[in-house]
Structure formats: structure tokens, C-alpha cells
């Protein structure tokens, strides 16, 4: 196995997740929130975030595969698992692990808008801003990170390392 170096440790992760959760709680006071977790990478982040937000939170799961042409997503995306319940008229927050080129999310947000939610916001734990090809509007960002391949806290390389409690990188 490759060596994984720590980029964001557990303490920084949980502090930032708590801040974002509290901000969301404040901004959605009294409203029902639908958190849409994008499988599999966002599972750890979504669960931790959901536990911070006090109030009416429901969870939905969606799964997409983005085809890569070598190192980046090609823009061709396949919906592998769709929403379970209708989000029409709901206040939705899409929770993503990482934004790289932005192609996956821009497709997904367009798709979700066709389901007529009342509002839709985007919350991403990590953002590799300098890699952006397709513009996406991120409402809540955990950390902006340099262009490194990261793993842990849900993120994988060939399904490995998702269970690391920190975000690390492989050189």
C-alpha cells in the first residue's frame, strides 16, 4: 500500500464540520432540511454534519459514477442510484466530499433542479479550486485544498482508505 500523509487531521475536520453544521442550523431555523448524500464518498461527512444540525433533518442518498479519462472526470455521468422520496418543494442541501473539475456536481445540480425543490444549496467538504473546469456555486466549503490526490474520511483510491479518520494524501 502507498504511504498516506496527513493533510487535515481529525481535530481540524471535526471543528470545521461543527462550524458548518451550526451555520446551516442557524440559516435554516425551523425548516425541514433534506441532506442529499452523494455515495459513497460523502457518507462520513454527511453523517457527522447531520449529527450537528439540531432540528428536522432528513437524509437522501444518490449515487453517480463519473467516467474518468485518466486523471479527471470526463463529464459523462451515470446515475446509479436515484432519490427515494420526492424533493419537490423541499429545502435541499447536496453534500459532496470533494469538488475537482466540477463536472459531476454541475450535472447533478441540474438534474436535481428538474425535481423542483424549493431551494438547493451545495455543501462540499473539500474544494480543489485550481482544478475547476465547470463553474459550480458552492454555498458551504470545508477546506480549499491544493491539487493533490486525497483519501480518507470517505474518499478512496480503488475503494481503499475510506475509513481513515483523517484526510490524507498520496504522493
Q: By rule CB under 6 A, what string of x and - marks binding of each residue 73-92 to ligand IMP?
A: x-------------------
And the C-alpha cell for 38? 452523494
Alpha helices in the chain (DSSP H): 10-27, 43-52, 103-113
The distance of closest approach from Cβ of residue 158 to ligand IMP in the complex, given in angstroms and rounded to an integer, is 10
Q: Decide: residue 141, CB within 10 A, 0-12 exposed, 13-18 middle, 19+ buried.
A: middle
Phi, psi of 10, deg, nearest 5: -60, -40
Q: By rule CB under 6 A, what string of x and - marks binding of each residue 108-147 to ligand IMP?
A: ----------------------------------------
Of the candidates 41, 117, 152, 154, which one interacts with Mg ion according to CB under 5 A? 41
Q: What is the rounded CA–CA span in Å between residue 134 and residue 52?
A: 31
Stretch binding ligand IMP (CB under 6 A), from 27-35, 51-59, 80-88, 93-101: 93-101
Tell me which residues are annotated as active site: 100
Binding residues (CB under 5 A) for Mg ion: these are 41
Amino acid at each position: 500500500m502507498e504511504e498516506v500523509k496527513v493533510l487535515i487531521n481529525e481535530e481540524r475536520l471535526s471543528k470545521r464540520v461543527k462550524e458548518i453544521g451550526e451555520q446551516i442550523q442557524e440559516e435554516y431555523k425551523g425548516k425541514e432540511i433534506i441532506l442529499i448524500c452523494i455515495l459513497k464518498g460523502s457518507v462520513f461527512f454527511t453523517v457527522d454534519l447531520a449529527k450537528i444540525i439540531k432540528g428536522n433533518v432528513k437524509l437522501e442518498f444518490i449515487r453517480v459514477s463519473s467516467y474518468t479519462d485518466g486523471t479527471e472526470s470526463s463529464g459523462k455521468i451515470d446515475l446509479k442510484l436515484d432519490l427515494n422520496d420526492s424533493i419537490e418543494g423541499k429545502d435541499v442541501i447536496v453534500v459532496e466530499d470533494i469538488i475537482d473539475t466540477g463536472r459531476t456536481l454541475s450535472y447533478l445540480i441540474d438534474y436535481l433542479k428538474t425535481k423542483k425543490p424549493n431551494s438547493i444549496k451545495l455543501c462540499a467538504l473539500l474544494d480543489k479550486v485550481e482544478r475547476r473546469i465547470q463553474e459550480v456555486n458552492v454555498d458551504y466549503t470545508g477546506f480549499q485544498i491544493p491539487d493533490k490526490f486525497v483519501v480518507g474520511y470517505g474518499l478512496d483510491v480503488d475503494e481503499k482508505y475510506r475509513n481513515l479518520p483523517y484526510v490524507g494524501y498520496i504522493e
